[in-house]
Structure 1
Amino acid sequence: MAYAVPRAAAEGKTVDFSLTTNATLLTEEMVDWFNTHRFALTVSMDGPKALYDRNRKTVGGKGTYDIVERKVRMLLARYTARPVGVRVTLTRGMTDVIAIHDHLKNDLGFAEVGFGPATSGPIAVFNLDDGALKRVFEDMKTLGRQYTEDACRGENVGFSNMHQLLTDIAQGTKKAVPCGAGLGMLAVDKHGDLHLCHRFVGSDEPTYGNVETGIDVPRLADFIETAQDRSAFGCKTCHIRSICAGGCYHESYARQGDAFAPVYHYCDLMRDWVDFGVEAYVRIMQANPDFFCSQLEPRMAKPGPARPAATQETAL
């Protein structure tokens, strides 16, 4: 950061910082430093103690919820620069969306809760199968209905996935590519090599330069140009193509071995989710159009919680 801020100013640019953390090593001094420099902070946390301690263990096998809860309460009491969001990874057996949201939002006090289902991670035992994924989407719609009812009354339940979906609809989003990978974002591995995003680090996919030699612009441009052409896959006739744009590159790579293929295992669910969002948008517009001005527009215009890094984050 000490390097980036003056370098950006010299180039006539602005630079912003975000951090996702499991919170275990946070100290008051760190939180105060993040506060001074207005970091967008997101905590990675998977719900109440009984769920959280199943997967989040120390090397000795003990659950870490009690440690993280103390750190989170300290963080939320101390951090004032921006709203703090929480990112939930839904894994096999850890899919109670309603209870998880209630605990993280209402018991701990996070500003927003966002969910990302794991379906193509390297450890298969954690991945959701198609049945579990469908149940997750149904639970998300249940929470989305609560979000809609509360929005009609001018209240905000802090459900990041609905925030993002309604923002895309309200702004008339028309995406040529599914996300910022290779455009606004690259990931750096321990050797300094550049990847499309953090999920491709360690994969067999090509890299796009190095921090020492710079970005391989021709190779990266070729990837982005190819990614925009989904005509071979049927996306051209899909009614949510402007919001989805084919879906997460890494999901396609992990599931089908082709980063350019659509995320077929998500297609029907995503169409249903976007249709659900359109219905919610219409209801809120009819009952309380001020909700978009008071809740969504400030979120679009001002720094807020980091977006949930959902597995299919183009429309989730």
Structure 2
Amino acid sequence: MEKKEYETEMIHQYKLNGYNIVMDTYSGAVHVVDDLAFDIIALYEATPAEAIVTMMLEQYANDPEINETEIRDTLSDVEELKANGELFTEDLYQDLSIDLKNRQTFVKALCLNVAHTCNLTCDYCFASQGKYNGDRAIMKFEVGKQAIDFLLENSGFHRNLDVDFFGGEPLMAWRVVKQIVEYARSKEEESNKTFRFTFTTNGMLLNDEINEFLNKEMYNVVLSLDGRKEIHDRLRRTVNGKGSYDYILPKFQKFVEGRGDKEYYVRGTYTGNNVDFTNDIFHVANLGFDKLSMEPVICDPSEPYALTEKHLPDLYRQYEILAEEMLKRGEEGNDFTFYHYMLDLSEGPCIQKRISGCGSGTEYMAVTPWGEIFPCHQFVGDEEFSLGNIWDGVTKPELQGQFKEVNCYSKPECQDCWAKLYCSGGCPANSLHATGSLKGNYEFSCDLFRKRVECSMMVKVAESIREMEAEAMVAE
């Protein structure tokens, strides 16, 4: 993929799948341009206009369609885009990021670790096979009830409250899950709040009764499947060492068949064992699932399945292959959704959300089976990051303040990044584990994120052009 040396954090230019794409960082405007405009934009801010004309005349000397008039007209178009605030827009958000550090925050989401135990022994599990490097445990209803009360008492102006049932394997705490949901529903009318529940499961314990309840009560359900049988079974095994693919696949298919139009995701993890992870995504799509996610493994670099910088060129190409195949399948009428390509170019998150970060430790927290509060599920078990408990609330406001300050303007490495308003500074847990600091940058993750944004923009551009062409045909 070609990139220009004159690129700055104010714009980002790249070529992909036959499109010349120019993104303006601070306005969010995305432009699809011809080769001449692409080259002029690359030079525009650092080169006088007359010099650009001379350079373009030399560069396109053998192109009969490009002359001085065409070049000057294109320069005028670029000038107009800049005047309209759609190109080379200045950063107006630095001061806003400072104000956000001092804002009062309210909790709007809890991750309830209802089960610190699991019936699988996945090698790459960040939760140490569900135990979070501690004792196995199941959350008692009294703890879950108090967690709901804590959320209600600390939710402030938030009307929609999110609760994610997590583990380990939350189906191993099935009885308490039902009790917590029932209790939360009983509090909705009097509190004038609405609960949205999410459930993440490996599928081993799914049955008709559970399916019915999940489809009735869960706003979203995440199903863990890594792709092809040989890939899935290599790292996702039962306690007896057997692969789980053959057992869970029919359960997932039956569950999704009864899900209707409600949200779900089949979520996989790819590792150094399957750098060709698009084959796993396409395998899952071919099984009939149409809402998919595939995440890179986060683990110690010494692990045999770890992803490293040497894999990046192959991974970049895989994301391009995925984007191209999604467009192809869309034309054929058998499209699917990929979580990381769900990009809204017309609106998207508000600027406050883009700047303030993921909300861990402030608007989002995780609760252990014992009622201890952590900034998110990836910090659970690390006592240095224990925020307090659901009875006493947050007892370490200074620690919470550190998370409030983590955003794309507090990280030096983010300042020149064109994608910073899409990632909001990235994952604090990944930063901590990779660099030892919440404000550090996990470069490998940043590189993959930028590539996903490029590919998702290309998909949206291609889809928009396709829609406009179809509308034009209808109008004729």
Relative to the length of structure 2, the TM-score reads: 0.55
Change in 2 beyond 3 A, CA 1:248/1:210 = same
Contact persistence 2:319–2:455 (CA under 8 A): no
Superposed, which structure 2 residues align to 1:55-204 within 5 Å? 55-80=235-260, 82-107=262-287, 109-120=288-299, 124-151=303-330, 156-163=335-342, 166-167=343-344, 169-173=345-349, 174=351, 175-204=354-383
SS at match of 2:199: strand
Aligned counterpart in structure 1 of residue 194 of structure 2, from 14, 34, 50: 14
Change in 2 beyond 3 A, CA 1:223/1:6 = farther
Aligned counterpart in structure 1 of residue 441 of structure 2, from 250, 262, 273: 262
Contact persistence 1:120–1:255 (CA under 8 A): no
Change in 2 beyond 3 A, CA 1:266/1:81 = closer
Instruction: Work out the number of aligned pairs and report it.
Output: 287
Residue 250 of structure 1: CA displacement?
A: 1.0
> Which segment drifts farther, 43-52 or 232-241?
232-241
Query: Unpaired segments of 5 or more residues in structure 1?
Result: 292-316
The residue number in structure 2 matching 1:50 is 230
Matched AA of 2:355: A
Cα deviation code 1:21-64 (max 9, x no counterpart)? 01001111000111222441110111121111111112221111
Contact persistence 1:235–1:246 (CA under 8 A): yes
Contact persistence 2:272–2:305 (CA under 8 A): yes
Query: Unpaired segments of 5 or more residues in structure 2?
Result: 1-180, 471-476
Deviation >6 Å, runs of 4+: none
> Which segment drifts farther, 110-119 or 169-178?
169-178
Cα deviation code 1:232-268 (max 9, x no counterpart)? 5132232111112221111111110111222223334
SS at match of 1:171: coil
Residue 217 of structure 1: CA displacement?
A: 7.7
The residue number in structure 2 matching 1:285 is 464
Cα deviation code 1:180-236 (max 9, x no counterpart)? 323442111233111111111122542222112123483465124321363551322
SS at match of 2:359: coil
Residue 82 of structure 1: CA displacement?
A: 0.9
Q: Residues of 2 paired with 1:190 and 1:123: CA distance?
A: 31
Kindly indicate which of the two structures has a greater share of residues assigned to strand. 2
Q: Residues of 2 paired with 1:156 and 1:289: CA distance?
A: 19
Matched, 1:27 2:207: yes
The residue number in structure 2 matching 1:302 is none
> Which segment drifts farther, 12-21 or 136-145?
136-145
Q: Which of structures 1 and 2 has the larger relative contact order (alpha carbons within 8 angstroms, sep 6+)?
A: 1
Q: Residues of 2 paired with 1:162 and 1:229: CA distance?
A: 21
Q: Residues of 2 paired with 1:289 and 1:216: CA distance?
A: 55
Change in 2 beyond 3 A, CA 1:121/1:275 = same
Q: Residues of 1 paired with 2:244 and 2:406: CA distance?
A: 41
Change in 2 beyond 3 A, CA 1:124/1:192 = farther
Q: Residues of 1 paired with 2:469 and 2:267: CA distance?
A: 27
SS at match of 1:237: coil
The residue number in structure 1 matching 2:406 is 227
Contact persistence 1:189–1:201 (CA under 8 A): yes
Residue 152 of structure 1: CA displacement?
A: 6.2
Relative to the length of structure 1, the TM-score reads: 0.81
> Which segment drifts farther, 76-85 or 53-62?
76-85
Aligned-pair identity in percent equals: 27
Matched AA of 1:13: K
Contact persistence 1:153–1:288 (CA under 8 A): no
SS at match of 2:200: strand
Q: Residues of 2 paired with 1:111 and 1:157: CA distance?
A: 4
Aligned-CA RMSD value: 2.7
